[in-house]
Protein backbone atom coordinates (compact mmCIF):
# COMPACT_ATOMS: atom_id res chain seq x y z
CA UNK A 1 0.00 0.00 0.00
CA UNK A 2 1.50 3.30 -1.06
CA UNK A 3 -0.85 5.57 0.86
CA UNK A 4 -0.96 8.19 -1.87
CA UNK A 5 -4.72 7.94 -2.21
CA UNK A 6 -5.22 9.00 1.40
CA UNK A 7 -3.48 12.35 0.94
CA UNK A 8 -4.51 13.11 -2.61
CA UNK A 9 -8.20 12.89 -1.72
CA UNK A 10 -7.93 15.64 0.91
CA UNK A 11 -9.18 18.93 -0.42
CA UNK A 12 -8.19 22.41 0.73
CA UNK A 13 -10.70 25.13 1.42
CA UNK A 14 -12.01 26.43 -1.85
CA UNK A 15 -11.02 29.98 -2.73
CA UNK A 16 -14.66 31.07 -2.39
CA UNK A 17 -14.96 29.61 1.11
CA UNK A 18 -11.63 31.08 2.24
CA UNK A 19 -12.58 34.51 0.89
CA UNK A 20 -15.96 34.28 2.62
CA UNK A 21 -14.27 33.43 5.92
CA UNK A 22 -11.85 36.33 5.54
CA UNK A 23 -14.72 38.71 4.80
CA UNK A 24 -16.60 37.44 7.85
CA UNK A 25 -13.49 37.91 9.96
CA UNK A 26 -13.10 41.49 8.73
CA UNK A 27 -16.75 42.29 9.51
CA UNK A 28 -16.40 40.74 12.95
CA UNK A 29 -13.28 42.83 13.60
CA UNK A 30 -15.22 45.98 12.70
CA UNK A 31 -18.05 44.84 14.94
CA UNK A 32 -15.61 44.10 17.75
CA UNK A 33 -14.16 47.61 17.57
CA UNK A 34 -17.61 49.10 18.04
CA UNK A 35 -18.74 46.52 20.60
CA UNK A 36 -15.70 47.20 22.77
CA UNK A 37 -17.07 50.70 23.38
CA UNK A 38 -20.72 49.93 24.12
CA UNK A 39 -21.37 46.23 24.83
CA UNK A 40 -20.97 44.07 27.90
CA UNK A 41 -17.61 42.32 28.25
CA UNK A 42 -18.98 38.84 27.54
CA UNK A 43 -20.30 40.04 24.15
CA UNK A 44 -16.87 41.41 23.30
CA UNK A 45 -15.26 38.14 24.41
CA UNK A 46 -17.61 36.06 22.27
CA UNK A 47 -17.02 38.17 19.16
CA UNK A 48 -13.28 37.84 19.76
CA UNK A 49 -13.74 34.08 20.04
CA UNK A 50 -15.52 33.96 16.69
CA UNK A 51 -12.63 35.85 15.08
CA UNK A 52 -10.18 33.44 16.66
CA UNK A 53 -12.09 30.39 15.43
CA UNK A 54 -12.19 31.69 11.85
CA UNK A 55 -8.47 32.53 11.93
CA UNK A 56 -7.64 29.09 13.35
CA UNK A 57 -9.77 27.38 10.70
CA UNK A 58 -7.93 29.13 7.86
CA UNK A 59 -4.50 28.63 9.44
CA UNK A 60 -5.11 24.96 10.23
CA UNK A 61 -6.32 24.28 6.70
CA UNK A 62 -3.15 25.88 5.29
CA UNK A 63 -1.01 23.80 7.66
CA UNK A 64 -2.75 20.59 6.54
CA UNK A 65 -2.17 21.56 2.90
CA UNK A 66 1.57 21.89 3.57
CA UNK A 67 1.63 18.61 5.49
CA UNK A 68 -0.16 16.84 2.63
CA UNK A 69 2.46 18.05 0.16
CA UNK A 70 5.31 16.86 2.38
CA UNK A 71 3.64 13.47 2.93
CA UNK A 72 3.04 13.03 -0.81
CA UNK A 73 6.68 13.88 -1.53
CA UNK A 74 7.93 11.45 1.12
CA UNK A 75 5.67 8.69 -0.21
CA UNK A 76 6.82 9.35 -3.77
CA UNK A 77 10.48 9.31 -2.71
CA UNK A 78 9.91 6.08 -0.78
CA UNK A 79 8.23 4.42 -3.78
CA UNK A 80 11.03 5.45 -6.19
* 26 domain residue, yes or no: yes
In a domain, 6, yes or no: no
Whether 31 is covered by a domain: the verdict is: yes
pLDDT band at 10 (very low <50, low <70, confident <90, very high): low
pLDDT at 11: 63
For the cut 80, the answer to whether the pLDDT of residue 5 exceeds it is: no
For the stretch 29-69, pLDDT in tens is: 999 999 999 999 999 999 999 999 999 999 898 888 889 89
Average pLDDT for the chain? 87
Report the domain count for the chain. Answer: 1
Q: Which one, of 66, 28, 23, lies nearest residue 47 by Cα?
A: 28
* Cβ-based burial of 38 (10 A; exposed 0-12, middle 13-18, buried ≥19): exposed
List the domain range (segments joined by +) for residue 28. 14-79
Instruction: Using a cut of 0.85, tell me whether the model's pTM lies above it.
Output: no
Amino acid sequence: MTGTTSTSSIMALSQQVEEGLKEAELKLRETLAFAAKVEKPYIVREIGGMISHIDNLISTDNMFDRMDKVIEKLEKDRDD
